[in-house]
Structure 1
Amino acid sequence: MASEGPTTEEAVRTALLLLPRLVGRAKKIPVPESLRGFSLAPRHLSLLSYLLFDGPMTVNELAARLEVAPTTVSLMVGDLSRRGILTRTEDEQDRRRTIVSIAAAYHADVEGWLATGARAWRTALEPLTPAQRRMFLDTLRAYEREVEQERGPG
């Protein structure tokens, strides 16, 4: 009977060899000139991705999506706002809430920066069925959880 795929050990080996190459290639996507001096970290990229793909939102909404404390997001938003990358505006419906968005001056650059990765993921995921995409994403999340758990607190 023919195998439908690699054994678990073969898949682990392939993943261990492939993931560093993927990360290395992602790091080589050039940061737009306008953003190079800001020393943006991966956490900033995730925050900017949510704002780009999902639009303006509150600090609490960003915190929930990033799975971090609102105070952590508030510090990042404050930092990026002082640099002019993000804007904070009062929510017209509830003046106690602040809406965070990518500043107009940086929107096109952030969009262009993220477009390379988005195109690559779209090409890779498009041929899969919705169930296969769900399994792939669930697998990535499980890997992330396990690595974080192995690393321990702090």
Structure 2
Amino acid sequence: MSTDDEVRELLLVMPRIIGRIKRIAVPDALRELELAPRHLSLLSMLLLDGPQTVSELAGSLGLAPTTVSLLVGDLSRKGVLDRREDEADRRRRIVDISDAHRQDITAWLAAGGRAWRAALAPLSAAERRMVVDTMLRYESASAG
């Protein structure tokens, strides 16, 4: 199979994947919160890695702490996130998904994580890294 054949196959599959992602219904309890795509990565990181500080989230998301702080503030005002003092260091704030929205957010976003796990599970660690690196290169190349 040539590179052009594989490119052709990817050009066919990507719109189907994006279409399926776009059709994932936002739970009724979250619809009125007007969550934007920028919020989804942050919420996904909290689901995967648990409560974190703004600095830890910034590192996970590859964003500036000030940007993450603005996102956290926005989601906190909407009641989606809770901020609490770190028991080990009272100067730090720990961010987590609020109990009021955890079940809906988990049901909504966990399917993507399950799909990626299923797709990556049969691969070796090196092959998984290659998939991730390829996606990152594609993102960079498609940005112009």
**Helix, strand or coil at the partner of 2:110:** helix
Equivalent positions of 1:2-81 (< 5 A) are: 6-81=1-76
Alpha-carbon shift at residue 122 of structure 1 (Å): 2.1
TM-score, with length taken from structure 2: 0.93
**Helix, strand or coil at the partner of 1:56:** coil
Q: How many residues align?
A: 144
- Identity across the alignment (%): 58
The amino acid across from 2:73 in the alignment is G
TM-score, with length taken from structure 1: 0.87
Q: Does 1:128 align with 2:108?
A: no
**Helix, strand or coil at the partner of 1:106:** helix
Task: Kindly report structure 1 stretches of 4+ aligned residues shifted beyond 6 Å.
Answer: none
Which residue number in structure 1 is paired with residue 99 of structure 2?
Answer: 104
Alpha-carbon separation, structure 2, partners of 1:69 and 1:146: 22
Alpha-carbon shift at residue 109 of structure 1 (Å): 1.0
Alpha-carbon shift at residue 30 of structure 1 (Å): 1.2
Alpha-carbon separation, structure 2, partners of 1:12 and 1:72: 35
The alignment yields a C-alpha RMSD, in angstroms, of 1.3
1:74-107: per-residue Cα shift (whole Å, max 9, x none)?
1110010000000011112222211100001111
Alpha-carbon shift at residue 118 of structure 1 (Å): 2.1
Name stretches of at least 5 consecutive residues in structure 1 with no aligned partner.
1-5
Which residue number in structure 2 is paired with residue 3 of structure 1?
Answer: none
Alpha-carbon separation, structure 2, partners of 1:89 and 1:55: 14
Which residue number in structure 1 is paired with residue 88 of structure 2?
Answer: 93
Name stretches of at least 5 consecutive residues in structure 2 with no aligned partner.
none
